Chains A and B, each alone.
Chain A
Amino acid sequence: MSQSYDRGTVESFGRWLEFKPGMWAWILHKLTGWILVGYLFTHIAVLSTATQSPGMYTSTLQGLEELLIVRFLEIGLLTVAVFHILNGIRLLFVDLGLGLGRQDVSFYVSLIMTALITLASLPTFLGGAL
């Protein structure tokens, strides 16, 4: 008679160091997806000030852009969005059955491209703020 019991770290995320690229891609895709869904609410909240008056929208945006933390959050948002897009393209290829043997390489490529695009965006986001 077999029995079920808690095997501790065997089945838990405690083994994250042993995750393979495909698994990391999946986790990061989920995570970035949820972050983008969360951002959508903030986005709508900011945009909705425009329904009050054009001045209110401008002053809200100006007020936000003055905060340094907002600049950093914007960089984070870009990173998240770019990775989600690039990995999304990778998944499209996976769905089409193209390059499945090199899926780990395409994951690394999307990570590197995300890093490069984020770095390239720094002057734009932090210009005048620092």
Chain B
Amino acid sequence: MSTEIQQETETADEQTPEQIREEVAADLSEKRREQIKEDLNSAEKTIQLEVFRYDPEIEGKEEPRFDSFKVPYHRGMTVLDALIYARDKYDSSLTFRHSCRQAVCGSDALFVNGQQRLGCKTQMGELEHPVRIEPLPHQDVVKDLVVDMEHFYDQMEAVEPFFDPDDLPDGELEEQRQTPENREKVKLSTRCIWCGACMSSCNIAAGDNEYLGPAAINKAYRFAMDEREGSDRKQERLRIIEQEHGVWRCQTQFSCTEVCPKDIPLTEHIQALKRESIKNNLKFW
């Protein structure tokens, strides 16, 4: 046994740096060859997009319809890339929101093949063809893929989504320290990019316009669970979330959690706030 190990070590030792370099290069070039092959194959491939079109301001386009676009596919192509191609190449009037292209700005939440997804985070290669792209359901459409987000923002603001501690630190540039445990507790909730996918997927929010919705409740969770805010502030936050159209509307369908592009456990946060609000109201007298 030990002789074998010795032998192996010896063989490894025998390899000169040049040999190792060559080996690595061969391995890399193999991978590169595969990638080039894949690129060549996909170069001939086009993907058909079925894009929802609607423009209430132009005569003859007031009726919603679907336009087809054939887009050349390449490895790594996202839904947003495909839409940009279709707009630049075929129809400059095709309207959709986008900005950062890296799942941070939350502008391009779309209804792709029957599910709320971020256009810039969804790979075309992973979707069934033709790819059907629609504006977010349960929101009014302004034009093509652009929906009116006003109501969503109103609900977000209704939970007062800002940090509001009782005391400020002495020095102007002093940090407001939080324990690592508490940070861990709210960590996932801080990921929200306000894209509105969860709100659009929620069946309850669709039927009840006053319901705060998963995104706003998640935002409320982020601050209600923050240990640095005072107890009066927490009471005020709980008052907002336990109102009739607050957390209790959630019927745990898990749709929001399924579609969240940032993988925030929204239902879990809503349930946690339900428990928090019960604990807050329990009285033994």
Contact = CB atoms under 8 A, between A and B. Distances in A.
Interface residues of A, number: 25
A97 B268 contact: yes
Interface in A17-38: 18, 20-23, 25-26
A5 B272 contact: no
- Tell me what chain B mostly uses at the interface: helix, strand, loop, or mixed: mixed
Contacts of A97: 268, 271-272, 275
Interface residues of B, number: 29
Interface in A57-108: 91, 94-97, 100-101, 103-104
A3 B55 CA distance: 10
- Tell me what chain A mostly uses at the interface: helix, strand, loop, or mixed: helix
A7 B271 CA distance: 32
Contact of A7 (B56, B137, B252): B137
Nearest to B63: A5
B134 A11 contact: no
B265 A100 contact: yes
A2 interface: yes
Interface in B227-285: 251-255, 257-258, 265, 267-268, 271-272, 274-275
Given A91-B252, A100-B268, 9 more contacts: A5-B141, A7-B64, A21-B254, A22-B258, A22-B267, A23-B203, A26-B251, A103-B252, A104-B254
Interface of A: 1-5, 7, 10-11, 15, 18, 20-23, 25-26, 91, 94-97, 100-101, 103-104
